Amino acid sequence: MSLKIENLTANIGDREILKGLSLEIPKGQVHAIMGKNGSGKSTLAKILAGHPDYEVKGGTATMDGLDLFAMEEPDERSRAGLFVAFQYPMEIPGVTIANFIRAALQARLPEGEELDAVEYYEHLYRQMDALKIDRKFTSRAVNEGFSGGEKKRCEVLQMAMLNPVYAVLDETDSGLDIDALKIVSDGVNAMRSTERGFLVITHYQRLLDYIVPDVVHVMVDGRIVLSGDKTLAHKLEAEGYDWVEKQQPALA
Amino acid sequence: MTTLTEHPTPASSAWPAWFQTAQSDALAEYDRLPPPVRKDEAWRFANLQALDLSAFVEAPPVASEGRLINASIGLNETAAKLILGNNALLHRESTALPEGVIFETLESAATHHADLFRRFFMAQPVELGSHKFAALHKARLAGGAFLYVPANTSVALPIEIFQWAEGRHTSVFPHTLIVCGENSRVTVVDYFKSADHLPAFACGVNDLHLERGAKLTYIAVQDWSRETTAVHLNSTIVGRDATSTALIANFGGGYVRGESLSRLVGEGARSEMYSINPVEGTREIDQRTLQDHVAPHATSDLLYLNALDDKSRTIFAGLIKVQPGAKGTDAYQKVKNLILSDDADPNSMPGLEILNDEVRCSHGATNGPVSAEELFYMAARGIPKDKARRLVVNGFFNSLLERLEDDALRAHLESLLAARLAIT
C-alpha cells in the first residue's frame, strides 16, 4: 500500500518541468522532498492534485493501486483520499471556513445523506482548538485577509477534517514563525499513523526537525536524484545543493 | 374580469373619495402616456415585449388565505407583521411596537392619517423612465402598508410585510410607505411572493422618508414566480444626518424592472443602495438608479451584484448627480457582474453628472467569470464543480450581506440566499 509515482513527465505549456520522476511513499511513512527553487517540487504537488494548467506527458501515479490520473477531476482525487496543502492557498471571498469544510465533507457522503451539523461543529472546534485557531475563524471567508501563518494553519485544519489517506504538504513551513511552525508540525504529527502516508515538500531543513521524515529525497531539475535518511537533510542544510548536482553530471 | 385599462370595480375601493378621484385622473394619465420605447435612454437595452399588459386583469380576492398566511414565514422575532394577498389585508399582528408607531394598511392611513399620507405618498416625481407605470400603480392601488415611526422612537425588532400574488393573469400593486421621524430607528423586511406559478403582473412602489437623524434599514426580498412580470419603483428621501440602508434582493420574477432613486436632501445624509441579483434561464433584471445629491456633505454608496447564468440578462444604468450646492459630496457607485455562462448578457451603464467641484465620486462596472483557481482549490478539497460554483456565487453575494449590522437579519438573509442557490 503506497502512493507510487513512476517515471512521471509533465509540462506547463511547452516547458517540461518533471522529467521522469519516480517516488514511492509506503503507507505509514513520512517522506520529504527537498530541492532548490525551480526544481519542480510545487509542480509535483499541483499535478497530483489535478491542476488544469499542467499536462501529464508520461508515467503513472497510483494511490494504493488506484490510478490517480484516470480520475480527471481534482475533486474525485480528493474524495479518493488525497490531500494537498498548497503553498499559496486561494482566497474564496464570502465563503466561510465552516461552510467550505462542511461542503467538502458533505461531498464525501452518499447522495441523500446529510452531514450532522452538531457533530460537525464539535469536530471542527476540536480540531481548531488543537491548532490554536480562534473559533471566530469559522465565520471568516476562506483565507481572505489571513496572514501567511493563518493560511497554513487553515490548510492543516482542512487536512485534519478531511482525514486523507495520503497528504502532500507543499512548503507548509513558508511564512511561518517558529511558534506557528511548532503548532502546524504538531498538527501533522498528530495525524501520523500506519494508515496514512505523508509527502512533505520543503525548501529548508528546519521543518524536518519538527516533522521527522523516514526518508528524504533530493529533487533536481524535475527528478529525484538522491534519497537517504533524515541525516541527508542536515547535510543539505550544511553544504547546500551543489555537491548533489556535481554527483549528477548527466543533469548538468 | 376587469382589465387594467378599465376603471376598477368601485365596490372594491376602501379609499377616501378625494383619492378615488386622483385615481381616475391617474388612469387617464396612464392612457395618455406613450408606452416606453428603446430609443428613450431610460429604456435602452430593455426587452419591452415583456411589458405587454393586455392579458392581465384586476385581482380577485385570494382563494387560499390560510395557506398564504401560514407560508408567510420570515424572521423568528419581529415587532409586527402585515400580510397582504392580491392587494387586500389578510392578517396583521403586532407584538412589540413602541407607543406612537403607526403600522396599518395604506388605505386606512389615507383616511385616518390623511395629513401624513398626502405629504408623503408618491411625493417624488418619477425620474427614471416609468412615468406610465407610476400612473398605473396609483390608478389601480387597492392596498398597501403604511409605517410611521415617531421622533426619538426605536423599534428594536424588525417589522415584516408580506405581499402575495395569486391566480392566473392576476395583477398586484404592492405599496410600502415608510416615514421615519427625527432620530427614529427601524428595520423593515418587505417580501414579495407568488402563491403559484401562473403568469402575473406586479407593479409596486415603495416610498421611504427619513427625517433628521433617522436610521432605516429596508430589505426587499423580491421572490415573485418566474412567470411574473414586475415593475418596482423605489424612492428614498434622506434628511440631515439620517442613514438609509436599502437592499433589494431580486430572487424571482421573469422580467423585472427596478427603478431606485435616492435623494440626499439634508447635510450629512447617508444612503446605502444595495442589490443582489442571481439570474438564470432567460430571466431579465433591468435596474436604473439615481443618487441625487442635493445637500452638502452627504454620502451615497451603491453596490449592485449580479450573477448571470444561462441566457439571462441584466441591465444596470446608474447616475450619480451632484447638484450645484452639494459640496463635499462623497458618492460611490459600483456594479459587479459575475458571469457564469457564455450566453449571459450583462449591460452596465454607470454614470456621473457633477455640478460642484468639491466632491469625491467614483463609479465603475466590472465583469468577470468565476475564478478557475478558486474552483480548483475547492475541487482539491473534494467539492464538485457545480457545487463549488454555487458556493462561489453564494460567497459573492454574502460579501455584500456582511455589510448589514443586525446579526439576526443577516443570518436570515444568508439562509434565504443559500436556499435560493440550493447550497444546503
Query: Could you list the mean pLDDT of each consecutive 10-residue stretch along chain B, which spans 424 residues?
Result: 74 84 95 94 92 93 96 97 97 95 97 96 94 96 97 98 98 98 98 98 98 98 98 98 98 98 98 98 97 98 98 97 96 97 96 92 94 95 94 94 96 95 79
Share of chain A above pLDDT 90, in %: 80
Question: B193-217 burial, b if ≥16 CB within 10 A, otherwise e?
Answer: bbbeeebbbbbbbbbbbbbbbbbbb
∠ CA B347-B350-B352, rounded to 5°: 160
Short-list A163, A158, A191, A202, CA closest to A31: A202
Query: What does the pLDDT read at residue B421?
Result: 94
Instruction: Establish if A100 touches chain B: CB-CB under 8 angstroms.
Output: yes
Query: Which residue in A50, A90, A107 is closest to B384 by CB distance?
Result: A107
Half-sphere exposure of A49 (CA within 13 A, CB side): 29
Residue contact A74–B398, C-beta within 8 A: no
Residue contact A52–B399, C-beta within 8 A: no
- The verdict on B406 and B325 lying in the same domain is no
- The verdict on B83 and B156 lying in the same domain is yes
Place A203 in a pLDDT band, splitting at 50, 70 and 90: confident
Instruction: Establish if A115 touches chain B: CB-CB under 8 angstroms.
Output: no
- State how far residue A91 is from chain B, nearest Cα, in angstroms: 7
- The verdict on B27 and B121 lying in the same domain is yes
Query: What does the pLDDT read at residue A91?
Result: 94
Residue contact A52–B372, C-beta within 8 A: yes
User: Could you tell me if A162 and A49 are in contact, meaning their C-beta atoms sit under 8 angstroms apart?
Assistant: no
Short-list B241, B248, B117, CA closest to B182: B241
- The verdict on B348 and B376 lying in the same domain is no
| Number of domains comprising chain B | 2
Query: What does the pLDDT read at residue A9?
Result: 96
User: Could you tell me if B273 and B299 are in contact, meaning their C-beta atoms sit under 8 angstroms apart?
Assistant: no
Residue B2, in any domain of the structure: no
Which residues on chain B place their C-beta less than 8 Å from a C-beta of chain A? 371-374, 376-385, 387-388, 391-392, 394-399, 402, 423
Query: What does the pLDDT read at residue A252?
Result: 40
Query: Which residue in A84, A94, A158 is closest to B398 by CB distance?
Result: A94
ipTM: 0.95
Residue contact B392–A100, C-beta within 8 A: no
pLDDT tens digits, one per residue of A20-76: 999 999 999 999 999 988 899 999 999 999 999 999 999 999 999 999 999 999 999
Model pTM score: 0.88
Please report, for chain A, the start and end positions of each structural domain, with discontinuous segments joined by +: 2-90+164-251
Residue B5, in any domain of the structure: no
User: Of B335, B352, B369, which marks where a domain is finished?
Assistant: B369
User: Could you tell me if B173 and B203 are in contact, meaning their C-beta atoms sit under 8 angstroms apart?
Assistant: yes
Short-list A146, A153, A151, CA closest to A127: A153
Q: What is the CATH number of domain A2-90+164-251?
A: 3.40.50.300
Nearest residue on chain A to B424, judged by CA atoms? A103
Instruction: Give the best residue of A90, A111, A144, A154 to mutate against chain B (max B CB count within 10 A).
Output: A90
- The verdict on B380 and B357 lying in the same domain is no
Place A248 in a pLDDT band, splitting at 50, 70 and 90: low
Residues of B in contact with A158 (CB under 8 A): 381
C-alpha cell at B216: 432605516
- The verdict on B212 and B353 lying in the same domain is yes
Residue B168, in any domain of the structure: yes
Query: What does the pLDDT read at residue A240?
Result: 86
Instruction: In whole angstroms, give the CA distance from residue A71 to residue B186.
Output: 54
Instruction: Establish if A94 touches chain B: CB-CB under 8 angstroms.
Output: yes
Query: What does the pLDDT read at residue B14?
Result: 85
Residue B89, in any domain of the structure: yes
- The verdict on B63 and B15 lying in the same domain is yes
What number of C-beta contacts closer than 8 Å exist between A and B?
87
Instruction: Give the best residue of A75, A78, A109, A169 to mutate against chain B (max B CB count within 10 A).
Output: A75
DSSP string, B292-314: EE-STT-EEEEEEEEEE-TT-EE
- The verdict on B416 and B279 lying in the same domain is no
User: Could you tell me if B128 and B48 are in contact, meaning their C-beta atoms sit under 8 angstroms apart?
Assistant: no
Residues of A in contact with B388 (CB under 8 A): 75, 103
Residues of A in contact with B381 (CB under 8 A): 75, 78, 100-101, 104, 158, 162
- The verdict on B382 and B279 lying in the same domain is no
Instruction: In whole angstroms, give the CA distance from residue A78 to residue B20.
Output: 67
- The verdict on B295 and B394 lying in the same domain is no
Instruction: Establish if A79 touches chain B: CB-CB under 8 angstroms.
Output: yes
Query: Which residue in B374, B391, B396 is closest to A103 by CB distance?
Result: B391
- State how far residue B74 is from chain A, nearest Cα, in angstroms: 22
pLDDT tens digits, one per residue of A158-184: 999 999 999 999 999 888 888 889 988
- The verdict on B218 and B100 lying in the same domain is yes
- State how far residue A108 is from chain B, nearest Cα, in angstroms: 7
pLDDT tens digits, one per residue of A114-128: 999 999 999 999 999
Nearest residue on chain B to A103, judged by CA atoms? B383
Residue contact A78–B379, C-beta within 8 A: yes
- The verdict on B106 and B125 lying in the same domain is yes
Nearest residue on chain A to B400, judged by CA atoms? A94
User: Of B327, B346, B369, which marks where a domain is finished?
Assistant: B369
Other Cβ atoms within 10 Å of B54 Cβ, number? 8
pLDDT tens digits, one per residue of A79-98: 999 999 999 999 998 899 99
User: Could you tell me if B197 and B166 are in contact, meaning their C-beta atoms sit under 8 angstroms apart?
Assistant: no
Instruction: Establish if A191 touches chain B: CB-CB under 8 angstroms.
Output: no
Report A:151-170 residues touching B (Cβ under 8 A): 158, 162
Query: What does the pLDDT read at residue B12?
Result: 59
SS3 assignment for chain A: CEEEEEEEEEEECCEEEEEEEEEEEECCCEEEEEECCCCCHHHHHHHHHCCCCEEEEEEEEEECCEECCCCCCHHHHHHCCEEEECCCCCCEEEEEHHHHHHHHHHCCCCCCCCCCHHHHHHHHHHHHHHCCCCHHHHHCEECCCCCHHHHHHHHHHHHHHHCCCEEEEECCCCCCCHHHHHHHHHHHHHHCCCCCEEEEEECCCCHHHHCCCCEEEEEECCEEEEEECCHHHHHHHHHCCHHHHHCCHHHC
Query: What does the pLDDT read at residue B253?
Result: 97
Domain span at B353: 10-369
Residue B398, in any domain of the structure: yes
Three-state secondary-structure class, residue B64: coil
